[in-house]
C-alpha cells in the first residue's frame, strides 16, 4: 500500500500541474474518452495509467467540438511509453526520484508545445494507475 501512495503522489503531481488553469475564471472540463496508457519500464515492470483528457474553458463552459483530443492523447501515450522505458520501476515508487522528475518535465514540455501548435489548452488527469509487482512477460526485451 505504501508503494501505491508514493506512485499516487508522483502521478497526482504530474496531473495537478497539467490541469492547473493559468487564467483566472477558467476551469478544466472533460474533453473526450479516457485512454489506457500501458508502458513497460526499463526492468520489465508495467506502469498503467488511465488518462482523462480535459480542456480549459471559461467557468461554466463546456468543451468545444473539434478539439484535437485523439492526437493529443496519442502523443502523450507515445511520450509516456518512451520515457517510462528508460526508467526502472523503482523510480515510480519514489516521487522525488530523478526519473519521475524527468518524466514530469517531458510531459509538461510536450503539452506546452502541442497546445501552442494547435492553439488549444488541453491537459490530462490521472483517473487511475498501477505499477506491477514483478516483471511482466510481455515487457521482456
How does pLDDT run across 103-138, given as a tens digit for each residue? Answer: 989 999 999 999 999 999 999 988 888 899 899 999
Q: What is the pLDDT of residues 41-98, one digit of tens each?
A: 999 999 999 999 999 999 889 999 999 999 999 999 999 999 999 999 999 888 788 9
- Using CB atoms within 10 A of its CB, is residue 34 exposed (0-12), middle (13-18) or buried (19+)? middle
Check residue 141 and give its pLDDT: 66
Check residue 59 and give its pLDDT: 87
Cα–Cα distance between 118 and 110 in angstroms, integer?
Answer: 12
Identify the band that residue 6 occupies on the pLDDT scale cut at 50, 70 and 90.
very low
Q: Does residue 2 have a pLDDT over 90? A: no
Average the pLDDT over 22-46 and give the result: 88
Cell numbers linked to 34: 479516457
Check residue 22 and give its pLDDT: 55
Cα–Cα distance between 28 and 11 in angstroms, integer?
Answer: 18
Amino acid at each position: 500500500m505504501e508503494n501505491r501512495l508514493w506512485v499516487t503522489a508522483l502521478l497526482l503531481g504530474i496531473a495537478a500541474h497539467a490541469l492547473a488553469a493559468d487564467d483566472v475564471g477558467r476551469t478544466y472540463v472533460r474533453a473526450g474518452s479516457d485512454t489506457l496508457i500501458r508502458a513497460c519500464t526499463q526492468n520489465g515492470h508495467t506502469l498503467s495509467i488511465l488518462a482523462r483528457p480535459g480542456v480549459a474553458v471559461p467557468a461554466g463552459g463546456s468543451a468545444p467540438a473539434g478539439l484535437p483530443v485523439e492526437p493529443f492523447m496519442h502523443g502523450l501515450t507515445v511520450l509516456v511509453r518512451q520515457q517510462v522505458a528508460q526508467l526502472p520501476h523503482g523510480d515510480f515508487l519514489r516521487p522525488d526520484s530523478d526519473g519521475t522528475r524527468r518524466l514530469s518535465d517531458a510531459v509538461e514540455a510536450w503539452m506546452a508545445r502541442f497546445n501552442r501548435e494547435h492553439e488549444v489548452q488541453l491537459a490530462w488527469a490521472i483517473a487511475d494507475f498501477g505499477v506491477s509487482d514483478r516483471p511482466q512477460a510481455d515487457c521482456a526485451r
